[in-house]
């Protein structure tokens, strides 16, 4: 799919059917476009059709669950993704609790398999600027090791960010995942990149989620990522979640295990500081087994 639109405004006009009357850059890749009649949309410039297609498919898959709120997707092509703008306000405790309840419902809406991409989404997708391969697997421990831990360990070793001897720590964790993973869970419908920057607190008192790396996975992974970089009213989010769907015994002890994936992605993208954090987390998991 090729793009025939030179500006965010022309892309917004095409996908919404309304003329663009103004543009306001937000970041290097995001532009707010005002349409005839006053409606405002956000236009994101992507790095190719795969990225835009994956993000659009992920947003639609989350929306189709009828649970969490996401900005409406107006359309995309190889260069642009056009969505509604979210008017933001201060984070609130009641909104946090509702968000937790909605997130539990999203996870319960399920996925065909661990690693399943959203309908219409590519197998080769992205998490942030890192590539993410959505290949399915029959059980979570084997799939998580093969497709969410070891690929990023290999990339970090190849880049010199991790030493080969350090890679062995992650390989040990992967070997012990059946013992570490807790009770078996069905595949959940995940946002997949649920750090606080992708949680928008709407001025209307409802949370919207943006920039998913959606796939079928373990529900504790979304919760672990939400905790990794901090989130306003996190206790209320977790309270709301557990009202709707109690978590399996021992889940707090598995947070670090699920954080290995985003920490290794950050190691690949941003370097040694995150490698140290990932190693500390992996070693703590092994100590829990007495290794």
Task: Give the active site residues.
Answer: 193
- Copy the structure tokens of residue 93: 């405790």
Half-sphere exposure of 126 (CA within 13 A, CB side): 16
Phi and psi at residue 25, to the nearest 5°:
-60, 135
Half-sphere exposure of 231 (CA within 13 A, CB side): 28
Q: Name residues whose C-beta falls within 8 Å of residue 214's C-beta, 6 or more positions apart in sequence.
A: 57, 58, 59, 61, 62, 117, 118, 121, 189, 190, 191, 192
What pairs with residue 126 in β-bridges? 131
How far is residue 15's CA from residue 128's CA, in Å, rounded to a whole number? 24
How far is residue 55's CA from residue 170's CA, in Å, rounded to a whole number? 29
How far is residue 143's CA from residue 21's CA, in Å, rounded to a whole number? 48
Phi and psi at residue 279, to the nearest 5°:
-65, -45
How far is residue 76's CA from residue 131's CA, in Å, rounded to a whole number? 20
How far is residue 101's CA from residue 244's CA, in Å, rounded to a whole number? 6
With tokens 């992605």, the residue in question is 265
The full length of the chain comes to 291
Contact 44, 24 (CB under 8 A): no
With tokens 């590539």, the residue in question is 131
Reported in sequence order, the residue ranges of the chain that DSSP labels E, i.e. its strands, are 20-25, 30-35, 40-45, 73-76, 80-84, 124-127, 130-133, 188-190, 199-201, 207-209, 215-217
């Amino acid at each position: 799919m090729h793009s025939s639109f030179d500006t965010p405004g022309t892309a917004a006009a095409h996908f919404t059917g309304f003329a663009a009357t103004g543009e306001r850059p937000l970041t290097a890749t995001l532009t707010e476009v005002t349409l005839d009649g006053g409606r405002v949309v956000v236009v994101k410039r992507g790095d190719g059709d795969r990225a835009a297609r994956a993000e659009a498919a992920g947003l639609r898959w989350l929306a189709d669950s009828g649970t969490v709120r996401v900005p409406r997707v107006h359309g995309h092509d190889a260069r642009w993704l056009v969505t509604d703008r979210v008017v933001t306000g201060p984070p609130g405790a009641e909104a946090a609790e509702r968000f937790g309840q909605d997130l539990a419902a999203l996870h319960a809406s399920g996925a065909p398999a661990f690693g399943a991409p959203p309908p219409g989404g590519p197998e080769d997708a992205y998490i942030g600027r890192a590539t993410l391969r959505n290949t399915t697997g029959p059980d979570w421990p084997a799939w998580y090791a093969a497709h969410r831990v070891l690929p990023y360990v290999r990339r970090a070793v190849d880049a010199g960010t991790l030493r080969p001897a350090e890679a062995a720590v992650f390989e040990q964790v992967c070997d012990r995942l059946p013992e570490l993973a807790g009770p078996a869970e069905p595949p959940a419908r995940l946002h997949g990149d649920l750090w606080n920057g992708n949680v928008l607190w709407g001025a209307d008192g409802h949370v919207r989620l943006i920039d998913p790396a959606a796939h079928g996975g373990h529900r504790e992974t979304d919760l672990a990522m939400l905790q990794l970089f901090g989130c306003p009213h996190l206790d209320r989010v977790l309270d709301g979640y557990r009202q709707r769907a109690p978590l399996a015994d021992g889940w707090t002890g598995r947070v670090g295990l699920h954080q290995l994936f985003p920490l290794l992605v950050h190691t690949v993208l941003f370097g040694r500081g995150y490698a140290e954090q990932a190693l500390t987390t992996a070693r703590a998991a092994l100590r829990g087994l007495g290794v």
